[in-house]
Chain A
Amino acid sequence: MAINVKVVDRPVSEVSYVRATLKGMARTFKHLFQEKVTTHYPEQKESISRRWRGTHRMLTTETGKAKCVACGLCPTVCPANCIKLVPGEDEQGNRYPLIFEIDEFRCIFCGYCQEVCPEEAIHVGRHYENSEYSREGFVYDLERLMQQTHPVCEMWDPADPKGE
């Protein structure tokens, strides 16, 4: 045998299967009446960490425009290659995203995009209930990213490692 056989040091002279079974049945019977540990999910929800990295969100300026300046850092850093960014430029020379799409299926929710963003525009959020009827529905465009309202992830701060 290739596997290590673990030999338990049992007090052989005292062990009895029947009595051990009865003991076990007493234990399981007690559990019948114990408090349940279930969280009734859709009605009750467990609280999630402040550093939870979920559905993305694009923050906006006071005028309601996306903060993104289409610098191209997030598609560069993205290890899953899930961000599609086509930059544009207006008459004043301000850059803005013509197309900004995130494929939530490809995303691995590492949070690098939020970390790398110089404008603190793209964020991963504290939200996890995404469901759609089609695969296309999981490609979030700029409009949809701006519409998200859930709280954003708090990144890990080296000065405050436990988040206190």
Chain B
Amino acid sequence: MPAVAALLQAPEPAQVPLGVFLLATVVKMIVVFTVYMVGVALLTLAERKISAWIQDRHGPNRVGGKLGLLQPAADGVKNIMKEETMPGHVNKPLFLLAPILAFVPALLAWAVIPFGAPWASRWGKITMVVADLPVGFLFTLAITSLGVYGIVLAGWASNNKYALLGGLRSSAQMVSYEIAMGMSLIPVLLLAGNVTLSEIVNQQAGMHLWNVLTLTISFFIFMVAAFAETNRLPFDLPEAESELVTGYHTEYSAMKFSMFPISEYANMATSSAMMATLFFGGWDIPFMRADNTTGVSFLGVLLSIGIFGLKTLFFIFVFIWIRWTLPRFRYDQLMSLGWKFMLPAALTYIVLVASILLALDYAGVPRGFVSGLIMLGVNLVLVFIAFVILDRGRIISPAYGRATPQQLARLRAVAAARTHLSPQSGD
């Protein structure tokens, strides 16, 4: 048992008594699970509210006061009471397995995300992460990429053309963006020199500069890939209501159906937490130096958890905000964006960051605030180049490059000729 505890407590050996460690872990598990589940339920309400506000409506305001706070409960009751249909043509075991597989990975990833500063309790340092895995970062990537199985299996097991197309699309999409996502995170690892998530947070706190300031392009690529990984608009092709009915969950009903939206929101929350952890300093409070080695007081822990929650909620808001701003990508645009733009950009950025770090090491600049400032300066130049110079002239169709004047002229000529031939059909 101590061996298992030591393995779970790495990278530092457990300093607290085993009993306290086990108790703390159980408490953390229960708290994280509860907060997460309730939070995901409330996210469905947040989505409806924010979408309503963006469309100048009020949103749910009948159940549970003006804010409709009981709407998730009402939805849950409705979904449980509904009839569970089991179409005759489905592959039964896979059909039942898919909703579970879609949801579990999103939940699992939370086990390694540090959600607060370590607590210097009277029994020793208690970390605010359920399991501080030494390979936490890799674990998250591995687990979140399992989410695609739920969707692909749902599409396959449904034996329905729309569901199958949705599942196929999601597998292609998620696998494509998985690569860009992983590549975009390598600069973070280069900077932190560690794959433990809590160490990545410590590095950002120690440098006094969050990774978003030094590695903006990484953050951008990660964010776009996260949208694709969670199947959120503008990349919700697996669902694509207007083309595929509702894609992979066409054949599902009642609670099995609502497991898919729940897992979508769970994935959203996980991605948001990852963005906050990897690029926005996790639980780090700006201008407040937390003692990472021994931990902070209980109040400090609560404060850092609150800050982490705020950062996560902000990204969740961005997810919803983007959804109600952008229309869906076309399938070829999605693929070309992933393979022809995101992946090369991420690879180039790895080389750039690696050379900058190497140059800094050769120049004898110690890793810290000063090197961070230099990286910030270089980063500003790169961001300017990427988003002002390189980005100019790239319209979304075709997404992979500039449309030449010749191409546009040809398209216009085709359209003009067609209009000329059939004057009665439209403008």
Interface residue ranges, A against B (CB under 8 Å) = 4-7, 9-10, 12-19, 21, 24-25, 27-29, 31-38, 40
Contacts and interface: CB of A to CB of B under 8 A. Distances in A.
A21 B426 contact: no
A32 B50 contact: yes
A120 B387 CA distance: 73
Nearest to A32: B53
Given A7-B415, A32-B54, A21 B394 contact: no
A138 B427 CA distance: 46
12 contacts: A4-B425, A5-B415, A9-B412, A10-B395, A15-B392, A15-B393, A16-B392, A17-B396, A21-B325, A31-B56, A36-B58, A38-B58
B1 interface: no
The size class of the interface chain B forms with chain A is 20 to 34
A29 B20 CA distance: 47
Nearest to B322: A25
B324 A28 contact: yes
A29 B324 CA distance: 10
A24 B395 contact: no
B415 A35 contact: no
A9 B412 CA distance: 9
A4 B426 contact: yes
Given A7-B411, A31-B53, A37-B56, A25 B418 contact: no
Nearest to A13: B393
B289 interface: no
A4 B325 CA distance: 27
By Cβ-Cβ distance, the 6 closest A-B pairs, closest first, are A16-B391, A28-B325, A32-B53, A24-B325, A7-B411, A7-B412
A21 B403 CA distance: 19
B55 A4 contact: no
A147 to B, nearest CB: 32
A31 B54 contact: yes
Nearest to B407: A12
A150 to B, nearest CB: 27
B325 A25 contact: yes
A144 B394 CA distance: 68
B321 A18 contact: no
Nearest to A16: B391
Contact of B395 (A4, A5, A12, A27): A12
Name the prevailing secondary structure of the B interface residues.
loop
B326 A24 contact: yes
B84 to A, nearest CB: 28
Contacts of A5: 411, 414-415, 418
A16 B392 CA distance: 5
B419 interface: yes
A17 to B, nearest CB: 5
B321 A25 contact: yes
A4 B415 contact: yes
B372 to A, nearest CB: 25
Most buried by A among B399, B408, B422: B408
Interface string B186-225: 0000000000000000000000000000000000000000
Contacts of B391: 16-19
Contacts of A4: 415, 418-419, 422, 425-427
Contact of B57 (A10, A24, A37): A37
A37 B393 CA distance: 38
Interface string B318-334: 00011011100000000
A33 B54 CA distance: 8
Interface in B112-170: none
Contact of A29 (B321, B387, B399, B418): B321
B402 interface: yes
Nearest to A2: B425
Contacts of B411: 5, 7
Nearest to A25: B325
Nearest to A17: B396
B322 A17 contact: no
Contacts of A25: 321-322, 325
A24 to B, nearest CB: 5
B395 A15 contact: yes
A12 B326 CA distance: 19
Given A4-B415, A5-B415, 14 more contacts: A6-B427, A9-B412, A10-B395, A12-B402, A12-B408, A13-B392, A15-B394, A18-B391, A28-B321, A28-B325, A31-B55, A31-B56, A36-B53, A36-B56
Nearest to B405: A12
Given A7-B415, A37-B56, A18 B403 contact: no
B325 A17 contact: no
A31 B405 CA distance: 36
A110 B326 CA distance: 43
A31 B52 CA distance: 10
Contacts of B58: 36, 38, 40
B419 A16 contact: no
A12 B387 contact: no
